[in-house]
Amino acid sequence: METLDGTEWDLLIVGTGLPQSLLALALSRSGKKILHIDQNDYYGGPEAAFSLQEVEEWGKGLADDPSSAPFSSISITKPEQVDPDEGPSLSFSRAYSLALCPQLIYARSTLLQHLVSSKVYRQLEFLAVGSFWVYSLGADETAGSPEALTPVGGRLLRVPNGREDVFQDQVLDFKAKRALMKFLRFIADYEEQPEVWEDHRNKPFPSFLTEQFKIPASLHAPLLALTLSPAVPAQTTTDHALPRIARHLRSIGFFGAGFGSVIPKWGGMSEITQVACRASAVGGGVYVLGKGLSTTLDGSINLDHQEGETPIYKVRLKDGELITTGQIVGDPSHPRLEDPAYCRSITVVSSTLDPLFPPIAEDAPSPACAVVIFPSGTLKLDTADGEAKVPPVYISVHNSDAGECPAGQSVLYASIALKGTAGFQYLKKSVEALLLSLDVTPSPTTLLSVQYEQQSRPSMQLLASETDEPTNNSSSSSMDLAFDDSVLDQVKGLWQEIMGEDAGKFLVFEDREANMTEDDE
Amino acid sequence: MADSGASQPKPSSSVKLVLLGEAAVGKSSLVMRFVNNDFQENKEPTIGAAFLTQKCNLPTRTIKFEIWDTAGQERFASLAPMYYRNAQAALVVYDITKPSSLTKAQHWVAELQRQASPGIVIALVGNKYDLASPSGGDNAEDADAAPAAEGENPEEEDSADARRVPTKTAKAYADEESLLFFETSAKTGMNVAEVFTAIANAIPETSLKGPRGVGGQTNLNRQEDARVNLTGGRAEGPKEGCAC
C-alpha cells in the first residue's frame, strides 16, 4: 500500500470543501497522483452535513479549538419538552442530515451541466425548489389576495413565477401590472439594452425600478427577493441585481414546468462534495481525513522548496508526516478582516409546513424546498431602531423529501449578512414570524435550534505555485443562498493551471461502467 | 431516459453497496468474481478505489448493484465514511485464515451500525474458503472433511488446515448482530453469487429506488415524484409564456 511520506505526489489538495472536491473530480482522470486531505474527520468542510450527534461534536470541537474554522459562536439548543412521552420530539441522530451549506442551484448553473458531463450526477438526486415567499407587514397593497397565507402579524406573499402569473394576478392594479410586465420583458434580454440601465449600474436597484419602470415601491420587495442579495436595498446595485433576477426567471421551466432551481438530496452541497471525492478516489486519489497541514504561527504553511527541473515541495502534516508534492492547493489559512461574517441558524420543527409547498405545476415534481425572504425593515427587535438598515433574512425551508429530517418535520435554514447578537436575534425573530404566519395544526414546535457565525474565506488557490502569487482574490461564496457559478470558474482556472497544455475538456468524462450507459440511456 | 420497454418487464432498482474489510482479505477479488466471473492469483493490491456495477436477477425484480470498493486505502480509513453514506448494503469481508481480520470486520460492523443508514443490509463474509479445504492448495496434509458452507461442521480445529477462524465463531457473531453470513472463495467462485443474491433479497422493497432518472412511470411514490431529471433540461431556454 502507498504510504503518505514514501510517495512523491503530483498534487496535494487540502480541505474537502466544495471547490477542492470539484477540483479533485476534475483531475480524477488525469493520471496525476493526488493526495486529498482534510483536517476534520468528516468530508465537506464548510459544506458538510451532520447528524444530530455530529452537529454536537462539531459544536464541541469548535469550542475546544476555535482558531481554525470559519465558524464561531455556535450554540445548540433543544427546547425542553414538558412531557417527554407526549408531543413531537426529535428522532434518532442519523435521521438527520443538517446542511451547513443548503444552497439552491439554478437550473442553468454550469455546475449542473458539469455534474452531468462528468457523469457523477448518477450518484446524486435533485429535488425541486418550489415557491418563493416574501414576508410582508403591510395590510395595504395586496390585502385579500388569494396568494396570501393567513395573516397573523405579517403575511407571506408568493412571488409570481413569471409574466403569466403577474398577468393573472387579481390584486395588482392595472398600472402596476403594466409596469411590472414591462420590466419582466426588459429583463428577458437586458444585456441587449445597456442604454436602459447603464447609468444605473452602480446605483441602488430600487431607484432604478422607480425611475426607469415606475414600479411602485410596494412591488420592490419581491423583485429584490429574487436577487437573493444579502445586502440592504440601498446597497444592492443594479448591475448586481439584474443578472440575478434574470438567472431566476430564465431558469424557470428548464427542468420542468414552474420551477427554476433544485437542491441536492441528503444534505445540501455536502452530497456533491462527497460524490466528487468518491469519483476522485475511484480514479486513484488517496483520501485521508483528520490530517491538516502544519502551519507556522502566522498561519502560513511550512514549505521546504527544492529547486529542480520541476519544483518539489515538502510540507509537514500536523502529526509530523512529511509530504513530498509537486503542487499544493488549499484555502489560505487565515481569514481576512475584510471578509464578511454572517449569522446562520438551523431549526428543526415538528411540522411539514405544507402551506409553503403548494404543488408547482401539473406534471412538475413535488417541491422539497421553499424560500422565504424577510425584506429589510420587516423584522423589528424590541431594542433596536433603524430597521431599514438591517439586511434581509433568507430562510430556505426543506421538507422531509430533502432527506435531511424524518417525515413530519422540516428544517429551516436561515441566514443574515450581519454578525453578533443582533444577527441571531433577527434570525430568531424571522423563524418565529414564519411559523406564526402559517395556518397549520398542530402548530409547529421547535425541536432543535443551531446557530452560528460563519466568516467568508478567501477561496481555494495554488498555495505554492511557481509565481507564488495568489491566483485570485475572491471570497468563497458558500454563504450565498444559491450556488455561484464563479466557484466553478475558479476550479476551472486552477485545473487549467495544474494540467497545462494537456488539459482537454473540463469535467467531460465517459461513464466508467459500460453497462451503466446501456441501461440508462 | 426510460428503460426501453418490453425487454425489461421486471422493475429494476439500484442498490448502493460498499465493500469493507482489512487489506488483502480478497474484497476486490470477490467483486471481480461476481462481476466478471474471473479470479487473478496474487493480485496486486488495488490501486485507488474501484466502482463497479452488476445486475442481480431476482424472480420479481432486477437489482443493479453499484459496488464501491475501498481497496488499497484501508490504512487511512477515510474512504469508508463517504462510501457507506446512503448505502443500502455493506459487504464486510474477513479472511478465514486470519483471525485479526475478523476483529477488524467486527469493528466495521459496529461502525456501520453506529453511522450508516438505518436499515442497511450487512453481510459478513469469510473469504478464502479454498485455503481451508484439503484440496485447496497450501495444505499438504489431509483434513478429514471439507466443511459445508453454512457451518454444518463446526470442528475445524485441524492444524493442517489454514483456517484459523472457525465457522461457528463467525456464524454466532453474525447471528447475534443479525447479519447475513457466508463463507466464500473468490478463487473457486463458491458462494460468491449467493452472497449478492442474499443481499438483494434482504433489501426491503420500501428502501428501493427506481432506476435513476426515470420519470413518469407507474407506481410512483412521493420520493420518485420529487426527483428532478437533470438530463431533461431543455437545450433552448424556455420561452416563458408571454400572456400579453
Domain borders along chain B are 10-207
For A290, name the nearest residue in chain B, comparing CA atoms only: B78
Min CA distance, B137 vs chain A (Å)?
A: 26
Among the partner residues B48, B66, B223, nearest to A284 by beta-carbon distance: B48
Residue A434 near residue A135 (C-beta atoms within 8 A): yes
Q: Which is more confidently placed, B147 or A53? A: A53
A227 or A477, greater pLDDT: A227
pLDDT of residue A456: 82
pLDDT tens, residue by residue, A257-286: 889 999 999 999 999 999 999 999 988 899
- ipTM of this complex prediction, to 2 decimal places: 0.80
In the DSSP assignment, the letter for residue A128 is E
The CATH number that domain A8-63+267-335+458-520 falls under is: 3.50.50.60
Q: Which of residues 299-358 of A touch B (CB under 8 A)?
A: none
| Residue of B225, B226, B244 lying closest to A167 (CB–CB) | B244
Min Cα–Cα distance to chain A from B203, Å: 19
Distance CA A101, CA B192 (A): 41
Q: Which of residues 79-138 of B touch A (CB under 8 A)?
A: 79, 81-83, 85-86, 115-118
Strands A369-374 and A341-349: unpaired
Residues from chain B contacting residue A168 (CB–CB below 8 Å)? 243
Tell me the mean pLDDT per 10 residues along chain B, length 244. 52 90 91 88 73 89 90 81 90 96 96 90 96 54 42 49 93 97 95 95 75 32 65 56 39
Q: How confident is the model at residue A304, as a pLDDT? A: 66
Q: Average pLDDT for residues A346-367, to the nearest whole number?
A: 92
Lowest mean pLDDT among A337-351, A356-370, A442-456, B136-150: B136-150
- From A215-224, A458-467, A497-506, B199-208, the region with the lowest mean pLDDT: A458-467
What are the residue boundaries of the structural domains of chain A, listed by start?
A: 8-63+267-335+458-520, 163-227+239-251
Establish if A240 touches chain B: CB-CB under 8 angstroms: no
Q: What is the pLDDT of residue B216?
A: 29
Q: Return the top range by mean pLDDT from A292-296, A373-377, A476-480, B149-153.
A: A373-377
How many pairs of residues across A and B have Cβ atoms under 8 Å apart?
Answer: 148
A514 reaches B (C-beta below 8 A): no
Distance, CA of B102 to CA of B126 (rounded, Å) = 8
Optimal mutation site among A254, A511, A521, interface B, most CBs of chain B within 10 A: A254
CB B105 within 8 A of CB B127: no
- Residues pairing with A399 in the sheet: A410
Residue A14's Cβ-count burial label (10 Å; 0-12, 13-18, 19+) is buried
pLDDT at A303: 65
Residue-by-residue DSSP string for chain B: ----GGG--S-EEEEEEEEEE-TTSSHHHHHHHHHHS---TTPPPPSS-EEEEEEEE-SS-EEEEEEEE-TT-GGGT-HHHHHHTT-SEEEEEEETT-HHHHHHHHHHHHHHHHHS-TT-EEEEEEE-GGGTSTTSSS--S--S-PPPTTSS------TTSS--S-HHHHHHHHHHTT-EEEE--TTT-TTHHHHHHHHHHHS-GGG-B-STT--S-SS--HHHHHEE-GGG--SSPP------
CATH class, domain A163-227+239-251, is mainly alpha
Options 3.40.50.300, 1.10.150.120, 2.20.70.10, 3.40.50.970; CATH for B10-207 is: 3.40.50.300
Per-residue pLDDT tens over the stretch B153-206: 444 445 568 899 999 999 999 999 999 999 999 999 999 999 999 999 999 877
**Searching chain A, which residue's CA lies closest to the CA of residue B62?**
A519
Q: Using CA coordinates, name the residue in chain B closest to A120.
A: B230
When scoring B22, B75, B76 by the number of chain A Cβ atoms within 10 A, the one with the most, hence best to mutate, is B76
Mean pLDDT, chain A, as a whole number? Answer: 86
pLDDT digits (tens, 9 = 90+) for A163-203: 777 777 777 788 888 999 999 999 999 999 999 999 999 99
Query: Looking at residue B219, what is its pLDDT?
Result: 30
List the beta bridge partners of residue B68: B18, B51
Cell of B161: 488446515
